[in-house]
Structure 1
Amino acid sequence: MANKKILTIGFSLASDQTETCEFDSDMSLLDWDIVLFKPDINDYLYRRESTFEGKPCLSDDQSFKLKAQSEHWRREIKAAIEHGKLVLVYLSELTQLSVATGKKEYSGTGRNQKVTRIVTGYDNYQSIPLVLKPVTSKGREIKLADKNFECISSYWNEFSSVSSYKVFIEGEVVPCLLTRHGNKVVGAIYRSKNSNGALLCLPDIDFYPESFFVGEEDEENEGDWTPEAMQFASRMINAIVSIEKALRSAAELTPEPDWARDSKYKLSKEAVVSEKLLEIEGKLEAIQAEKEAAIDEIKDLARLRNLLFEKGKPLELAILDALKIIGFEVSQFDNGESEFDAVFKSDEGRLIGEAEGKDNKAINIDKLRQLAMNIHEDLEREDVSEPAKPVLFGNPYRLQPVGDRLEPFTVKCVSAAITSSTALVFTPDLFLVAKYLSGKADSAYAARCRKAILASVGKVDFPDVPKETATETEQANAEKGV
């Protein structure tokens, strides 16, 4: 019966007849016949920066990501409906939080100036392209509405016992399910006027009860789906396919034939609205280009954090970014015979670096051999008159929080570095230096950091990052909007 392409978002079913994706996905919905959507943004709560008026408050970056993701689903759900798809939204708990608006207020002048970040309320229902006006309320006593319930009657007969409402809907919607007492709307249906598509809002279901998973008593299969979960999924798929079939047969819309699109059948107002649409699309293209430029800039800035957890080429590029911030002229060298991860220089001297990241180990002497060879090969070049300073950049235990890591370089590595006059740079230390200098023009501190690398034999101890003044600390706190 289920010869339909079905996608679940925010949860999954124990069936190979469906596919699933997370809320944070750029999936298009046009490839699917039926979409089951749960607006779950709890992951954003775990990433909150602070609280404001008792609600979790997101950073500028996370605010942008949540709003962009919600906009993506609004657009995709609307497009899916207009292309004849069925979208089922499970009305999960209302999740309220505060997000940045991108605006700031300034008060005071000079060193006494304070910056206040402006935030606004937001919730998980912003991802749905209907004005639902959800109000938090919980219960299980639900009944079918007097009309508009026909398409879900068999579904409701099957799943009413495991359904519960988490919100009332107070927007202008067509109800199909009501509370048994008070007639509050807890289920609604929206049908497209231009296609056979529909958006159906239903009370929530717990898709992950304990009985759906193999327990620890079966160590080999622990966490796998149980037969009960698979039976539930099969029943669910049959029920929603029946809903889709009922909606389609009740509102079969004939596609407009090509001949009916002839200009002689066009309404005069269509031309006016079409011109208006072209103008709007032009503005949207300009805004989209501006948005993409901002996204690219954020990605470039965020690349510096690769010093904390990356290896290979991403780590090398982050090191180059950091060295530029510190004031070095940097490049990578590859003439087909020799390849150096980093060549960098300043008034203080010229250096060659190698980068190494380890998942769960300290940095050993392996890269020191490669680095020594690079120094000699570099010296053999006609335009080089003296050996460069060797620097080994290490990111050990890269998958662990920085504060939990053991010594970054092995004893043997440190001993060999001293013998070869090599500087050992722990990349999370380099991140702290670059983070400070990326937001602060402090040429004196940058020079001290460059000299620390050039003068060090063994592990580099960068000078302490200058502390903020009391005024700067107040401004930083004010910018959090708290």
Structure 2
Amino acid sequence: MAQKKILTIGLSLADDSSEFCEFESDISLLDWDIILFKPDIHKYICRAESAFEGKPCLSDDQSFKLKNQSEHWRREIKAAVEHGKLVVVFLSELTPLSIATGQKQFSGTGRNQKVTRIVTDYNNYQSIPLDLKPVASRGREIKLAERGSEIITSYWHEFSGYSSYNVIVESVPSPILLTKHGNKAVGSVSRSKSSSGVLLCLPDIDFYSDSFFIDDDGGENEGDWTSEAKQFASRMIKAVVSMEKSLRAFSDLTPEPDWAKKSRYKLNDEVLAAERLVLIEKNLQRIQAEKDAVMDQASDLGRLRNLLFEKGKPLELAILDALKTIGFNVTQFDNGESEFDAVFESKEGRLIGEAEGKDNKAINIDKLRQLALNIHEDFERDEVNEPAKPVLFGNPYRLQSVEERPEPFTNKCISAAATSSTALVFTPDLFLVAKYLKDKCDEVYAAECRKALLTTIGKVRFPEFPQVPTLPASEVELPSSDEA
């Protein structure tokens, strides 16, 4: 018999016969026979920007990503079980948090207007396609249920000593593991009605015990798996493979033969249900296409933030996006002999830019030499009648918070820029300009920004953002008693 294909998600084993993927993966589960899954979302918790009612609160972007990822696993786990796979979920610690709903409330007007994000409760168990209703509770005293637990008897004999429960599940039709006192469910089995697939929920195991890793105090092998970890992994693989074989052997379902699928054997309600499924599938495809389009749009819009922390090609592309937003016609030039990061022009004039990002240093004169060469090579082209304005885009100290960064350009760079009539642009400043124009579509302000790039020698200081006029309190129109 062919070797079983095993995938672990959110946990890893010291065994080459299994493959590992992160919780944030978009992999399909239909390629695997056995899936071991742990709903671990601690990476999202680490990215939380605030707290709400004592729980971590994710940003709009991270909220969307977590919800989308949870939906992916819920969908994939359900599909895997329906297609006859064994999915084992280790019930890890319940991780409550708050995520954005996408809705906002507005109060006040003008400068005094306040925007309140609407958030909702969420947790890591939303990635499991069962309504388990988990309640946080810890313990190690666990017993097999009298009925239904025979499918895990061998596994439990092997791994009960490693297992502990982090939650009690209050809504399970077939509990197979119970607390020793109180008979509260801490493990369950859910079988597919149309295949031999099974979803097992089991108490958690520490797959990263200290004894599983070599502690070599900085040595060459530090962090590698120990022999104990490899033995544990081998036993786990054998246990789940044995469990999968037993589940198949004792399945009462016989795969439906092709002849039994003919239309003359189908019930009228079954035909109607199949037709409804086709319509639902079409709607899902349409909604998925809309979702993909919005995701692509959000990704493109979010690319502007690369002006804050990127270097190399990602920084160059973000600069091009920002310049387009300001109103320039933008290209990158490469004729095999000369290559320019950015060539951009408008009715006000033509410019050539070079981009430089540095991890922990200010921008120096290195790129100015390259920029001067580019201006000269560009001017030598027959179709160019006037030298372009040189612009150096710099993103120094890119890994530090913008507010904490020192002066972005060295004194020597500023001095050389004055000599060569070069404009120096701090890319986080360019981000603020592009963000404002994306939000406001202010053509007058965009023209002022283009003029600043063309006329400035040295560091560019973009115009102040226009102030939004507000009415004095005495001039605010209040609704009449009929309108109130």
TM-score normalised by structure 2 residue count:
0.89
- Equivalent residue number for residue 313 of structure 1: 313
- Equivalent residue number for residue 390 of structure 1: 390
- Residues 465 and 48 (structure 1 numbering): CA distance in 2 closer, same or farther, change over 3 Å? farther
CA shift, 1:215, in A, is 1.7
- Equivalent residue number for residue 129 of structure 1: 129
Q: Deviations over 1:132-159 (max 9, x none)?
A: 1111111111000001111111111111
CA shift, 1:362, in A, is 4.5
Q: Is the 8 A contact 1:47 1:58 kept in 2?
A: yes
Q: Deviations over 1:326-359 (max 9, x none)?
A: 3333333345554432222345432111223345
CA shift, 1:42, in A, is 1.4
For 1:163 and 1:456, locate their aligned partners in 2 and report how far apart those are by CA, in whole Å: 67
Range moving further from structure 2, 14-23 or 84-93:
14-23
- Equivalent residue number for residue 5 of structure 2: 5
Q: Is the 8 A contact 2:323 2:330 kept in 1?
A: yes
CA shift, 1:322, in A, is 1.1
Task: Verify: 1:276 aligned to 2:276, yes or no.
Answer: yes
CA shift, 1:292, in A, is 1.1
For 2:149 and 2:10, locate their aligned partners in 1 and report how far apart those are by CA, in whole Å: 26
- Residues 406 and 193 (structure 1 numbering): CA distance in 2 closer, same or farther, change over 3 Å? same
- Equivalent residue number for residue 67 of structure 1: 67
Q: Is the 8 A contact 1:8 1:36 kept in 2?
A: yes
- Ranges in structure 1 where 5+ consecutive residues have no aligned partner: 472-482
Letter in 2 for 1:241: V
Task: Verify: 1:432 aligned to 2:440, yes or no.
Answer: no
For 1:427 and 1:109, locate their aligned partners in 2 and report how far apart those are by CA, in whole Å: 32
Q: Is the 8 A contact 2:389 2:454 kept in 1?
A: yes
Q: Is the 8 A contact 1:134 1:168 kept in 2?
A: yes
CA shift, 1:258, in A, is 1.7
- Residues 444 and 192 (structure 1 numbering): CA distance in 2 closer, same or farther, change over 3 Å? same
Range moving further from structure 2, 331-340 or 260-269:
331-340
Calculate percent identity across the aligned residue pairs: 72
CA shift, 1:282, in A, is 1.7
CA shift, 1:66, in A, is 0.9
- Equivalent residue number for residue 177 of structure 1: 177
- Equivalent residue number for residue 146 of structure 1: 146
Q: Is the 8 A contact 1:350 1:389 kept in 2?
A: yes
Q: Deviations over 1:358-399 (max 9, x none)?
A: 455554444333322332233234543321110122234545
- Equivalent residue number for residue 100 of structure 1: 100
- Residues 400 and 54 (structure 1 numbering): CA distance in 2 closer, same or farther, change over 3 Å? closer
For 1:406 and 1:7, locate their aligned partners in 2 and report how far apart those are by CA, in whole Å: 47
3-state DSSP class of the match of 1:240? helix
Q: Is the 8 A contact 1:85 1:196 kept in 2?
A: yes
3-state DSSP class of the match of 2:220? helix
- Equivalent residue number for residue 480 of structure 2: none
For 2:444 and 2:275, locate their aligned partners in 1 and report how far apart those are by CA, in whole Å: 58
Letter in 2 for 1:285: Q
Residues 104-119 of structure 1 aligned to structure 2 (within 5 Å) = 104-107=104-107, 114-119=114-119
Q: Is the 8 A contact 2:175 2:187 kept in 1?
A: yes
- Equivalent residue number for residue 30 of structure 2: 30
CA shift, 1:267, in A, is 1.6
Q: Is the 8 A contact 1:349 1:454 kept in 2?
A: yes
Range moving further from structure 2, 408-417 or 387-396:
408-417
- Equivalent residue number for residue 474 of structure 2: none
Task: Verify: 1:21 aligned to 2:31, yes or no.
Answer: no
Range moving further from structure 2, 43-52 or 335-344:
335-344
- Equivalent residue number for residue 229 of structure 1: 229
Q: Is the 8 A contact 2:106 2:116 kept in 1?
A: yes
For 1:2 and 1:46, locate their aligned partners in 2 and report how far apart those are by CA, in whole Å: 41
For 2:407 and 2:210, locate their aligned partners in 1 and report how far apart those are by CA, in whole Å: 42
- Equivalent residue number for residue 354 of structure 2: 354
For 2:109 and 2:445, locate their aligned partners in 1 and report how far apart those are by CA, in whole Å: 26
CA shift, 1:219, in A, is 2.0
RMSD: 2.7
- Residues 432 and 109 (structure 1 numbering): CA distance in 2 closer, same or farther, change over 3 Å? closer
- Equivalent residue number for residue 242 of structure 1: 242
Q: Is the 8 A contact 2:110 2:470 kept in 1?
A: no
Q: How many residues align?
A: 471
- Ranges in structure 2 where 5+ consecutive residues have no aligned partner: 472-484
CA shift, 1:171, in A, is 0.9
For 2:75 and 2:32, locate their aligned partners in 1 and report how far apart those are by CA, in whole Å: 15
Q: Is the 8 A contact 1:389 1:454 kept in 2?
A: yes
- Equivalent residue number for residue 204 of structure 1: 204
For 2:176 and 2:193, locate their aligned partners in 1 and report how far apart those are by CA, in whole Å: 18
Q: Deviations over 1:102-131 (max 9, x none)?
A: 233445667665543322211111110111
For 2:429 and 2:193, locate their aligned partners in 1 and report how far apart those are by CA, in whole Å: 60
For 1:158 and 1:409, locate their aligned partners in 2 and report how far apart those are by CA, in whole Å: 64
CA shift, 1:467, in A, is 8.2
Q: Is the 8 A contact 1:132 1:173 kept in 2?
A: no
For 1:431 and 1:103, locate their aligned partners in 2 and report how far apart those are by CA, in whole Å: 25
- Equivalent residue number for residue 160 of structure 1: 160
CA shift, 1:15, in A, is 1.5
3-state DSSP class of the match of 2:230? helix
